[in-house]
Structure 1
């Protein structure tokens, strides 16, 4: 896997002008920035890592000293985030998704402000294409800024963020299944503390619940018991539960080491529900180990059990 800035990065001024007067006497600066990455993940997986709020929260911060807090995050609708650095004013970013063509292209605008003062506006276009066993991502940023340092900041931020994204996508596992049941029924089966343990887990596995509270900020502490009686301690911590998605963290046993950040989304269409289950493993080694013991197949068995539980298998 390679991760490099496109050598053809372009900083052409719009309409042939480096600067243009703005209302109130300000100066506008225009630039077009292009970035390209080769990613060791299928296009469908890269798309999920790019658009799923739970995944975006993992790779969005350009440096360890930066914290990104999503106040609103919903692909297909406006989202708002705060970029926080100790000792500096928060930077607010409002993002609106203008076009989402699954696994092909996304277009969004970004409005950046600090202290209630606008700093920049940008149009961000991301193009996705298969490349060998992986994929290629090309991002074009058309930037209009009111602050002198915004072009350099955008260049640095996108460069670092896309480096993070390539690593996240390469250790992301995505499972999908269309279930012939309304979204409400699928949601209730997933969020009811009585029904979730009945179907969760691969074929032949059962769940023994120790503690369960299915809400934002809640948790599920349980043992998965294999067909041969082997006990696998689990702990899920829920960060967000809403009718179109759930975000949670997987731990190895109660308060144990983090195994993965996960999300599930529910998309209804004509009485069926497309369930997408994504997991970003903590390390590339854990991702490879999970693939090696058949996590994809076992995960599909779990979704199959959900379908059968709903009478839609």
Structure 2
């Protein structure tokens, strides 16, 4: 017999609501905060964040059967509201189903998220597990949102043109970087599992070694990659770029989750947001769609 319950979770986060929304919905960010504890590994098999899309993940704990979670997005109102169903199963047996509603709003110091879970479970203890998991997950979400930087620009060009300029090894180095910066490439292979090893050279000749590792490339949809300080150097951010066509234009979102909040604050302090927006401006100019 199924047991029904309604669970409510609330969290105030010292980050703009637009950043919290990206941390809540972007697959690259969700992959960072989804595991409730360090003993749990979450493997994402599928992620399509749009109404009608779904996300499938496996929660893995040593010496225990994998837990399969299917999330289907029903409603997405950017920076306001998401609604999804969630089915949890193990070894082919459904353990619970839920309707999850997240409401986001601006708060005095950042933003607030309220998550309501309408849960139907087949066994004792699942509601308690949900409560523990969501409490931990929202704590992780808070930590991710605190060190996430979101840059957006609407480019007046079809998504195909924007994607081709970004994912072409001949053109990407020509526009990447802030105004006055250039790129010197050592290796570049723009595909899932590929990499870009390059130096970014500042207006005064200062050389900044970079290494991008590409973990996911979904044509004309999104890219997920890591940013390293130089070839095989320490990682300083997990990043993604997404491309959404809106009324004949392309909304480009560039997100970065820095490895620590201190690195985020350092980047913010030297003007990384303005420099990143300059980079997207150079992309727009490169394709003649400023």
Please, what TM-score do these two structures have when normalized by structure 2? 0.98
Written as runs of structure 1 = structure 2, the 5 A alignment for 1:42-191 is 42-76=16-50, 77-191=53-167
Match of residue 225 from structure 2: 248
Q: Distance in 1 between matches of 2:21 and 2:78?
A: 7
Q: Distance in 1 between matches of 2:129 and 2:233?
A: 38
Q: Distance in 2 between matches of 1:167 and 1:186?
A: 32
Match of residue 298 from structure 1: 275
Match of residue 273 from structure 1: 250
| Larger radius of gyration between Structure 1 and Structure 2 | 1
**SS of structure 2 residue aligned to 1:130:** strand
Q: Distance in 1 between matches of 2:211 and 2:14?
A: 29
After the TM superposition, list the runs of 4 or more consecutive aligned residues in structure 1 that deviate by more than 2 angstroms. Answer: none
**SS of structure 2 residue aligned to 1:75:** coil
**SS of structure 1 residue aligned to 2:157:** coil
Q: Deviations over 1:199-219 (max 9, x none)?
A: 000000000001100000100
Match of residue 265 from structure 2: 288
**SS of structure 2 residue aligned to 1:152:** helix
**SS of structure 1 residue aligned to 2:2:** strand
RMSD over aligned Cα, in angstroms? 0.6
**SS of structure 2 residue aligned to 1:305:** helix
| Residue correspondences, number | 287
Structure 2 residue runs without a partner (length 5+)? none
